[in-house]
Amino acid sequence: MKKIAVIGFGFMGVTHAKNILANKNLELCAIIDNRENIFAGIENTGNHGDLDLPLAELYRVPIFKTLKECVNKTQPDAALICVPLFLHYDLTKKALNLELDVLLEKPFCAEPGQCQELIELAERKKRLLMVAHCIRFAPEWEFLTECIRDKRYGELKLLSTTRICGEPTWGIWQDKKIKNTCGGALMDLLIHDIDFANYCLGRPEDIKLNLNIEEYWELELKYKDQPAKISIKGGFLYRHTAFASEYAATFENGSIRFSTLQPGIIEVSTDTGAVSSRFTGNMYNSELEYFAKCIRERNNPEKCLPESSKQAIEICNEIRNLNKKFSAVQAIPDAKTSASN
């Protein structure tokens, strides 16, 4: 039985805490959060609706204000870190230095240099470090990964993803100063799809920014040795817009479509017609189960290595740089119009 301490008891912290309690191989040995009343409003935090939390069990878990105090009192094996991005580097460093394995919520850290430092620290400390890129563990996305890899419908020609929701309204997002450090829709939301593209196809050779309006982005990725092109679209719309993520993948001999608006259903179209298949399973549970197996067996998290999570950060930074150029080009007045004025 491995003991896990959850750091940050907001939307993702409570989601993971609930899943740890339901996992027979794990013990939720502590919750660490620096708020006074960590249970206030937790049932309806986030954008997944009612979280159906096992409150009676959660109330029994020891609560600490700092990781050090928690380690002294409860000796966890691992920390599951679910705090705002600006704390990812410091808290992960602390946890690794306290000899804990770490599952860190995405995005890794704002700067690739910080990611690299943590990767090296984990290696030196012989601790496991995994960044929670959950869609790698979602059954609908796992099916797509298999189709891309085993080419059962031929080569992938196009993968188009869309991920949209209202700007988050809960927890840290209500504090404007902290919100500005969260990486915006690109690093907080679209990083899921950027990471997935990396996972399946490697690092893109060319990234094109086709559209950026405030927190909405349209990106195009191309690869050196692959015919496939990737289109990633989405971002934060007005507050309270319902969350939806979808993909459409087209191969030489078929297409696959999925949308969270029809959870668990994937439609595959080939020459013989369209077939809908049902998929079950919860990505956060599978992700946790995978991490638990890695720490139990002392295996590197090959399915989600921190090096590739760092790559997703590098790509986001590249896109931000493109955006600066893109905005500069948009700002240049049309030559003819200026001349006639």
- Contacts with ligand NAD by CB under 6 A lie at 7-13, 32-35, 45, 82-85, 87, 105-106, 132, 134, 170-172, 188
Tell me how far, at minimum, the Cβ of 171 lies from ligand NAD, in Å.
Answer: 2
CB 316 within 8 A of CB 187: yes
The dihedral built from the CA positions of residue 241, 284, 116 and 223, taken in this order, carries a sign that is: negative
Tell me how far, at minimum, the Cβ of 329 lies from ligand NAD, in Å.
Answer: 30
Tell me how far, at minimum, the Cβ of 250 lies from ligand NAD, in Å.
Answer: 26
Give 68's contacts (C-beta < 8 A, 6+ positions apart). 94, 98
- Of 23 and 47, the one with the shorter C-beta distance to ligand NAD is 47
- Of 16 and 127, the one with the shorter C-beta distance to ligand NAD is 16
- Of 171 and 254, the one with the shorter C-beta distance to ligand NAD is 171
Determine the residue with CB nearest ligand NAD: 10
Place of tokens 């990964």: 145
- Of 26 and 288, the one with the shorter C-beta distance to ligand NAD is 288
Tell me how far, at minimum, the Cβ of 251 lies from ligand NAD, in Å.
Answer: 27
- Which two structure tokens, joined as six digits, stand for 11? 């939307």
d(CA 119, CA 109): 11
Tell me how far, at minimum, the Cβ of 290 lies from ligand NAD, in Å.
Answer: 14
- Of 83 and 201, the one with the shorter C-beta distance to ligand NAD is 83
DSSP 37-94: -TTTTGGG-SSSS-----HHHHHTS-EESSHHHHHHHH--SEEEE-S-GGGHHHHHHH
Question: Within the chain, how many helices (H) and strands (E) appear?
Answer: 12, 14
- Of 183 and 204, the one with the shorter C-beta distance to ligand NAD is 183
129-132 sheet: strands from edge to edge: 63-64, 26-32, 2-7, 78-81, 101-105, 129-132
Distance of CA 229 to the CA centre of its chain: 22
